[in-house]
Amino acid sequence: MARVRAGDVGAYGDLVRAHAGVAVRVAVLLGAGADAEDVVQESLVKAYRALGGFRDGAPFRPWLLRIVANETNNLRRSARRRGATEVAAVLPEPVADPELSAEARARRAELVRAVEVLPEAYRLVVTCRYLLDLDERETATVLGWPRGTVKSRLSRALKRLRSSLETDGADD
């Protein structure tokens, strides 16, 4: 980060290469859909312009992912204002894996459906923690919530998921 602040554009390129993949996943999973790469590009430009406000010693990844989350929210708000349909796919379709049994694929599809119908705050926290594998601190930074809020919403979300999956399983 010191090299970037000193004007080394190549160093910023290194940061971009290191974090672009997760940034695109965040944008997709938070609702940018097909516009995810555009959201990330805009976020990277904004991050570069805002480097002067980056706190020394702070981790770069959560800071960047927060910018991506904000840009994704801006995109979704803008689409609603224009009357466009909101991006429906928050979770990607499960990838067909021949190693998985039909039963495992069915369980995964059931879990994805259960996550998709969670209220937005719960869906976001589950997505960050388990689909993006962010730790609690990073999740709080990305979502702009206090850590206590992340903990409580994650707890409630997991309780809902358990209840939903148990109810669905009882129908079998």
Q: How far apart are the first and last CA of the chain?
A: 54
The pTM assigned to this predicted structure is: 0.70
Q: Identify the structural domains of the chain with CATH numbers, from first to last.
A: 2-81 (1.10.1740.10), 102-170 (1.10.10.10)
The encoded tokens of residue 100 equal 């998985």
Token match 């992912």: residue?
65
pLDDT tens digits along 99-115: 667 777 788 778 888 88
pLDDT tens digits along 52-66: 888 888 899 999 999
pLDDT tens digits along 14-31: 999 999 999 999 998 888
Residue 40 makes CB contacts below 8 A (sequence gap 6+) with 20, 23, 24, 27, 68, 71
The span from the CA of 99 to the CA of 72, in Å, is 34
Q: At what angle do helices 136-143 and 60-81 cross, to 10 degrees?
A: 40
